[in-house]
Structure 1
Amino acid sequence: MPFRWPPLACFAAALLSSGVAAMPEQKAPPTPEQWHAMQMRAADKADRLMREADTRKSLLGRYEAMLAAASAGDANPAFQAIIGQYLAWYETFIGDYPNAAANFSIQELQQPDDRPSPLQSQAQPQPAVEAIAMLARDRQAVFFNEAHHLPLTRTLTVELLARLREEGFDTFAAETLYASDDELAARGYPVEGTGFYTQEPICAEMVRTALKLGYRVVAYEAETESGGDARESRQARNLYARVFKQHPQARLVLDAGYGHIQESGPYLGGRSMAEYFRTISGIDPLTVDQVVLIPHPDSAHDHPYYLPVMQKLAPDQPLVFMEKDGKPWSLRAGYDVSVFFPPPVLRRGRPTWLSLGGLRKPYAVRGEDMCREAYPCLVEARYADEGEDAIAADRLAFDPPPRYGKADDGLRPADGASAGELYLRPGKYRLLATDAQGHPLSRRNITVPQ
């Protein structure tokens, strides 16, 4: 499917809402005007390369094309930053989460108006699942943000959907869902034409879970405005028209990127979607920031508050802090509560947060069994009751070094391992292995036990 959404807006959102992307050092920093011109040239080139990659028939082929583009040696630091983000998206699509985190890293700088660390007050840590469900009880809307290249920041939302449904929430909306997929509710699962980020299995699981729980799923993306203030305003107007104008008593769970959910302060030369939404609807959403207090492959990119909290508490699940007066702690104005995510634990080269808080279990897969020595190879698990067009519940790419001769310099999923684990809910699945051209290599039916 052709790429339909201008990603530069998201790149700018990522940089402005946090710190700065890791970029090669330069001897003399460019002027703001020079940097803007470099970004525009880089964005045009990166978008062209992405469109070329998306002409490939297979997802693995598109990833290979993006990997080649990122490795081509363009010296423009703006291009390296943008193409690194684009490559990271495709790495999440094929289930290669460690490389995705490594290829695009936002340095979380402490801002002058950051609130004091919760360790400096009497705020108490609580499991984020429990605390957010409690905080949402008297709200009509809950807004979560995410880092698009780090699906760790989608996991808590998936875990909370059932709890929020029990509290009466009935509508779910997500950034870059396509309104053109008007068969989503009847079908019950996302396909390639459902959205952009829903190509990634955790994002697809978020939408699938909402559908199974009985949520109305709403696309609110701006269809003509490509970025900046115009996009924020249009998104807010779409939300109001498609949710609350038709269902005034609806209760909404929303997933969006970065600072789109901040409730106050300048954003992308104007105001954020959430601020526009408050003005239009009169609804004050619970805003949950999940993109700053997160682990990075290079700990030097972590926010200064992150490591002390991890060292003192050693959490094994996402945390929030609650003050004595019952109010949640947030790092910055514009958000109601901030989430600390623990460092990832890798098992067979994959992060165990893929279990979604215990909803899914690891299921061992061997490349030798599925790939028939045809590498690189993509193994996908689809729910047995969904069609061949369904976005997979999980994917695992295999590309081990050749048996004879020196391995190339390409990034290898799971460090080139030829065995790994898919993370799946208990139930029946169809496994399909394909090569980079999309040709099937093997099929298998499996059952994941309770």
Structure 2
Amino acid sequence: MTLRCGTWAKGMLWLAAGATTALHAQSVAEWNAEQAAAEAKADKIMVEAAHQKGLLSQYMAMREAYARDNSTAFHMIFGQYISWYLSFLGEYPLATQAFFIAQPAQPVDNPSPLGGGYTARPALDAIPEFAGHYQIVLLNEAHNVAMTRSLTVALLSRLYQQGFRYFAAETLSSKDTGLQARGYPIEDSGFYTQEPVYAEMVRTALKLGYKVIAYEAAPNAATPDQRETEQARHLYESVFKQDPRARLVVNAGYEHIVKSGVYLGGQSMAEHLYKLTGLPMLAIDQTTMYPRPSGQGDHPYYKAVMDQLHPKAPIVFADANGKPWSLRPAYDVTVFFPPEKLEHGRPTWLSLWGLRQPRLISADGCHGHYACLVEARYSNEGPDAIPADRMLLDTPAPLAVSISGLKAYGNTQAVPSGTLYLRPGSYQLSFVVGPYKVLHRATITVP
């Protein structure tokens, strides 16, 4: 199976109902053993689900497995797996509800940027300026929260203008040797590339002229530190060994990009890369200050900043000398994302901060069959391309409900409709049900 960035073994996690009681009733050793068994079971289910044809069928198999096991450890771990697939289907708010990492205040936190001599700036403008004197820019993401990679898509053109020419993304597969020439990702390009915003990130880099690097470690990495070491080595050998003056943008999950401290018993990919290159890096954290469901788990600074500034787009803070603010010392910059706003059941950040525009799509092409997956592919790409956007349309008994009691956010009227977010251009629409049965195709143009 393709390597993924697991997070349940560390940090502050959202737990399913009853988790606290379960933890109090058993020893740490018992809880760890239950987690290990749940992880093994979750991986086995995911491998089996992957043999199903089409994302809808894969998701249904996983959802049914989730419903059959009510144990706390399994729901905590498999909830993350479910959340990845919800994001692949375009069910973004539900993906965030199914799994998120809370961000309580910690002793290492820097003082709040409010009232501390810092000024809020649009992240799209400030980050390219911060990056001006660096050869390496590291951007992290929460893998099931596509909002945390939306800014990266928009930043790529600005960083290209600064002279960055290499882009590396976690879990891209080195086996897809045709990616650069083809110009767009397909199902075999990686794991997270199945999510349309991630695919758009890779596609954007290719269109701009970046050399796209697959730097993932081999699936049989024995320890977390071995994986981090191997990732760093791949980046060094693919980029700086060949081009010492190269400028590189790296996308990674969570704390793979921390510049100091112990990471999973060893060191992070970024620390290993520094040992190989000696190059200073700009580490940008996008995983601490995004909106959690209903405010549950938000860092105290997040609420204070949103209440005072009401930003409509991602922001960062800098002092009078232009030095950026970060929540924690292992990073250089912390991005604050605005609260999520829904229109026609879909988040408006899917505009990618101005790159795309909404297009309302009716369910006529579903011919009354639900759940129905609507996909929009660029007309100049093949039918194997990961769509530019996709959404799930359903009836008043939606497919996505009852993930640990959570409600589906989508449109559930008798004849549903929804909004796709697309760049200007021509697209092929597909309306899909079941194991990838296409009921209808159409061509649309976004002016």
2:27 to 14, 31, 39: 31
Deviation per CA, 1:286-341: give whole Å up to 9, x if none.
Answer: 00000001101131310111101000000001111101232110000110010111
**Contact 2:2–2:171, Cα closer than 8 Å, also in 1:** no
**Contact 2:401–2:408, Cα closer than 8 Å, also in 1:** no
Deviation per CA, 1:99-154: give whole Å up to 9, x if none.
Answer: 10110021111111111111140111000111101001111010000000000000
Q: Which residue of 2 aligns with 1:384?
A: 379
Q: CA deviation at 1:89?
A: 0.2
Q: Which residue of 2 aligns with 1:59?
A: 55
Indicate how the Cα distance of structure 1 residues 227 and 364 shifts in structure 2: closer, same or farther if over 3 A, else same. farther
Distance 2:271 2:402 in 1: 46
SS in 2 for 1:155: helix
Q: Please give the residue correspondences for 1:291-440 in structure 2 after superposition, counting only pairs within 5 Å.
A: 291-367=287-363, 369-401=364-396, 409=402, 412=408, 414-417=410-413, 418-440=416-438
Q: Please give the residue correspondences for 1:32-431 in structure 2 after superposition, counting only pairs within 5 Å.
A: 32-75=28-71, 77-223=72-218, 224-225=220-221, 227-367=223-363, 369-401=364-396, 409=402, 412=408, 414-417=410-413, 418-431=416-429
Distance 1:212 1:29 in 2: 54
Distance 2:369 2:207 in 1: 36
Q: CA deviation at 1:402?
A: 5.8
Q: Percent identity?
A: 49
**Contact 1:158–1:356, Cα closer than 8 Å, also in 2:** yes
Q: CA deviation at 1:413?
A: 5.8
Distance 1:412 1:175 in 2: 29
Give the TM-score of the pair, scaled to structure 2.
0.95
**Contact 2:136–2:247, Cα closer than 8 Å, also in 1:** yes
Distance 1:395 1:196 in 2: 17
Deviation per CA, 1:220-269: give whole Å up to 9, x if none.
Answer: 00013165111111111111011111121111011000000000001101
2:15 to 22, 28, 32: 22
Count how many residue pairs are aligned between Structure 1 and Structure 2.
Answer: 437
Q: CA deviation at 1:29?
A: 4.9
Letter in 2 for 1:23: A
Distance 1:43 1:210 in 2: 34
Q: CA deviation at 1:434?
A: 1.0
SS in 2 for 1:206: helix
SS in 1 for 2:68: coil
Distance 2:63 2:445 in 1: 34
Distance 2:168 2:267 in 1: 20
Distance 2:16 2:329 in 1: 28
Distance 2:36 2:58 in 1: 23
**Contact 1:22–1:106, Cα closer than 8 Å, also in 2:** no
Distance 1:120 1:93 in 2: 40
Distance 1:86 1:226 in 2: 22
**Contact 1:430–1:443, Cα closer than 8 Å, also in 2:** yes
**Contact 1:365–1:419, Cα closer than 8 Å, also in 2:** yes
SS in 2 for 1:305: helix
Distance 2:418 2:376 in 1: 13
Letter in 1 for 2:276: I
**More displaced stretch, 383-392 vs 36-45:** 36-45
Q: CA deviation at 1:412?
A: 4.3
**More displaced stretch, 209-218 vs 411-420:** 411-420
Deviation per CA, 1:156-191: give whole Å up to 9, x if none.
Answer: 100000000011000000000000000001100000
Q: Which runs of 5+ in 1 are unaligned?
A: none
Deviation per CA, 1:35-68: give whole Å up to 9, x if none.
Answer: 2211110100100111111111111111111221
Letter in 2 for 1:106: I
Indicate how the Cα distance of structure 1 residues 142 and 440 shifts in structure 2: closer, same or farther if over 3 A, else same. same
SS in 2 for 1:291: strand
RMSD: 1.6
**Contact 1:11–1:82, Cα closer than 8 Å, also in 2:** no
Indicate how the Cα distance of structure 1 residues 408 and 427 shifts in structure 2: closer, same or farther if over 3 A, else same. closer
Letter in 2 for 1:20: L
**More displaced stretch, 104-113 vs 136-145:** 104-113
Q: Which runs of 5+ in 2 are unaligned?
A: none
SS in 1 for 2:114: helix
Distance 1:226 1:366 in 2: 49
**Contact 1:397–1:413, Cα closer than 8 Å, also in 2:** no
SS in 2 for 1:283: coil
**More displaced stretch, 315-324 vs 33-42:** 33-42
Distance 2:140 2:232 in 1: 15
Letter in 2 for 1:447: T
**Contact 2:185–2:386, Cα closer than 8 Å, also in 1:** yes
Distance 2:91 2:248 in 1: 31
